[in-house]
């Protein structure tokens, strides 16, 4: 694990409060959203997007570690669930919720 990331995670683990970590993750997601607010994709500042995405990933990895989740495994499981909910033949090109397909 990268030294800077390890230090960031150590600081967060020290607080040992999931609500603080969750709130911080939500705040970082809001900051990522701000990168695109009222802008086209091309107008977003790539360095800012990269920084905010990195912050979100740090919190996601921290959560996965705290709960003992295997990241590739939970991603694969979620992709399988989404494939079952949104079959390509029904969902492709469609913005409907899976319950409305």
Residues 21-78 have pLDDT tens digits of 778 888 889 999 999 888 888 888 999 999 999 989 988 888 888 889 999 999 999 9
User: In whole angstroms, how far apart are CA 58 and each of 3, 33, 92?
Assistant: 12, 17, 32
Are the CB atoms for 44 and 36 separated by under 8 Å? yes
Q: What is the model's pLDDT at position 17?
A: 66
Predicted pLDDT at 42? 86
The answer to whether residues 48 and 28 belong to one domain is yes
CA distances from 52 to 1, 14, 42, 91, 95 (A): 19, 22, 17, 30, 27
Looking at the whole model, is its pTM more than 0.75?
Answer: no
Return the pLDDT at 41: 81
For the domain that residue 20 is a member of, what is the CATH number? 1.10.287
Largest CA distance in the chain: 48
User: 88: domain range?
Assistant: 70-101
For residues 77 and 65, membership in a common domain is answered with no
Q: Are residues 42 and 89 in the same domain?
A: no
Which one is predicted more confidently, 3 or 26? 26
Give yes or no: residues 14 and 61 share one domain: yes
| Structural domain total, the chain | 2
Distance separating alpha carbons of residues 36 and 39, to the nearest angstrom: 5
Same domain, residue pair 87 and 54: no
- Pair 29, 48 in one domain: yes
């Amino acid at each position: 694990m990268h030294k800077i990331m390890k230090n960031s995670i150590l600081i967060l683990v020290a607080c040992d409060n999931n609500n603080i970590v969750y709130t911080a993750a939500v705040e970082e997601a809001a900051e990522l959203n701000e990168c695109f607010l009222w802008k086209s994709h091309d107008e977003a500042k790539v360095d800012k997007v990269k920084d905010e995405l990195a912050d979100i990933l740090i919190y996601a990895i921290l959560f996965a570690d705290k709960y003992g989740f295997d990241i590739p495994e939970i991603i694969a499981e979620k992709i399988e669930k989404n494939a079952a909910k949104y079959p390509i033949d029904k969902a492709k090109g469609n913005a409907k919720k899976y319950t409305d397909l």
